[in-house]
Structures are given as structure tokens and as C-alpha cells.
A = this chain, B = another copy of it.
Amino acid sequence: METCLKGKEIEVVISPEKPVIMIGEKINPTGHKKLAAALKDEQYDYIVELANKQIGAGAHILDVNVGAPGVDEVVILPKIISLVAESVDVPICIDSGNPKALEAGLKAAPGKPLVNSVNGEEDRLQNVLPLVKDHGAAVIGLTMDDAGIPETADARLVIAGKIIERAQKVGIPLEDVVIDPLVLTVGADQNAAQVTMETIALVRKEFGVNINLGASNVSFGLPNRQTVNQAFLAMTIVVGANCMITDPMKLAGTILACDLLTGKDLYGKNYITHVRKNQ
């Protein structure tokens, strides 16, 4: 199944047959003080720098989130999306918890963006899915709902099914729903990574949709998080994850190594080019 996204110039296809797609996560002020300050002070050069750096490191799509204290998302999100779209040609992943900001962002984004995100919460489904449909976008569906993130893969599968059903009801085609099975911190719950891997396999088998993952949460609180994140990315790719919202400066090498190991990078051309460029 192919999820086709478009930026100003570049089309990106998420598909199990193709290399893993990397969504650069760095334009997000959560835990990123310098960016939070830049947004508040309307000093946007740093954002353009973050956009270019991520593309240079191999990102195929850029996530844009401006949720920070003192920032009016409805005004600022479309502004930053336009700014990023002027600087780089890739599709945008519009990231907000505020439906009005998402709507403004959808108006500003060129091509066919990805909306981050809906989940199984009734409010979210009702308010966000029609926007996704109206703007011909695609959407990430997180396997959580009003009761939180379920502990079992079966319960996460049920939420994925609900999101897919509701998306189809408003006219969003199946291929434009990308399911994110979520991951909790393995340092706090020894089953966390396994439940995510099981969910990936179940959702792939049941619905055939593409799978996004924000993998780095798995290592929260652990030392040498990079090693845990690298191992987890490789594990989840084997079981079917094919889109990663991540820091490409840290993890593009691992993702490209995985493409090579799964036969999606003939003679290691992409991997070798990446290593030479980033050494």
C-alpha cells in the first residue's frame, strides 16, 4: 500500500516495497529551549537552519510543531509552514493538538501534507478527520484514546481499526491513514518495546497500512539512548515499521543501514553516500 505525499516540488511515497521514510522531528519546541525562544521572539532563521540541516542529514519529510507557551499556534503554525516550504521542497507533516491550527496549517502547506495526528479520542476524530479529507491530506493515527495508551497489542489494534473505519467514513482512503503504534519507555515497562512490535505486526497483517513510529521514547531515562534507539529502529523495521519520525542527524545512518540490510539499497549506494557526506 502506498501513501503518496507531496511537498512544493518533491513527491514522497511511503510503501513497504520502498526505503523507510524519515520524518525529521527537530522543528518541535518541546524540550528544545532554543527553538521555543526563537518562536516566541519571532526569530525564524534558526528554524530555516533546522529545516536545511535535517534535509542534509536525509529527512524525506519535515514535521512542524510550534506548540510552546506564548505562541499562538493558529497564527504561527501556518507562518512557519510557509517559511519551511519556502526553504525546502519536501512534504510537511503538520503537527498540532489544536484543530484550528491544523486547519490553518493545511491551508498554508503546499502539495499533499501529512497531518500529525488523530487518535481514537472521539473529539479528535470528529474535529480532525474532516479537515484531512477536505484538504486531500494524509493522516497519522495514534493507537491511543480517551483511556490512554492500551497495554496490549490487541487493544491497540482495535483503536487502529476504529481510526481507519472513521477515516474511511469521511472519505479518506485507506492508504492515506498511517498508523503509529506508539511506544512507552522500556526502562519503566519491560514489555513496552515488545507490545509495540506486536502491534506493528498485527496492524500490518490486519489492515496492510503503512506504519509510522516515533521510536526514541523507548529509551527515555536510560544511559546511552542512541544504542537503544538504533537497536529498536532495526527491530521495528523487521516487523513492518516503514516511516520513522526521528532525529535524522542521529539516526539516518541506522535507517539507511536497515534499508541496505532489507535489500532496498542496491550495493549500499544510499548508505555509502550518506556516510561519506556526514563523516
Known: A230-B234, A268-B222, A272-B222. A193 touches B261 (CB 8 A): yes
A205 to chain B, nearest CB (A): 16
Contact A275 B231 (CB under 8 A): no
Most buried by B among A218, A228, A239, A279: A228
User: In chain A between 31 and 70, which residues have their CB closer than 8 angstroms to a CB of chain B?
Assistant: none
Contact A254 B231 (CB under 8 A): yes
Residue of B nearest to A191 (CB): B263
| Cα-based distance from A265 to B186 in the complex (angstroms) | 10
User: In chain A between 157 and 206, which residues have their CB closer than 8 angstroms to a CB of chain B?
Assistant: 186-187, 190-191, 193-194, 197
Across-interface contacts of A231 in B (CB, < 8 A): 230, 233-234, 254, 257-258, 261
| Cα-based distance from A267 to B189 in the complex (angstroms) | 7
- A152 within 8 Å of B by Cβ? no
Contact B238 A197 (CB under 8 A): yes
Q: Mark A260-279, 1 if CB is under 8 A from B, else 0.
A: 11110111100110011001
Contact B267 A190 (CB under 8 A): yes
Contact A228 B187 (CB under 8 A): no
Contact B187 A257 (CB under 8 A): no
Contact A266 B235 (CB under 8 A): no
Contact B187 A267 (CB under 8 A): yes
| Cα-based distance from A271 to B223 in the complex (angstroms) | 9
| Cα-based distance from A74 to B265 in the complex (angstroms) | 45
Across-interface contacts of A268 in B (CB, < 8 A): 186-187, 222
- A129 within 8 Å of B by Cβ? no
Residue of B nearest to A261 (CB): B193
Give 18 pairs: A residue, B residue, CB < 8 Å, sorted on A. A186-B261, A187-B268, A190-B260, A193-B261, A222-B260, A222-B268, A222-B272, A223-B276, A224-B275, A227-B230, A227-B253, A228-B260, A230-B230, A230-B231, A230-B257, A232-B234, A234-B235, A235-B261
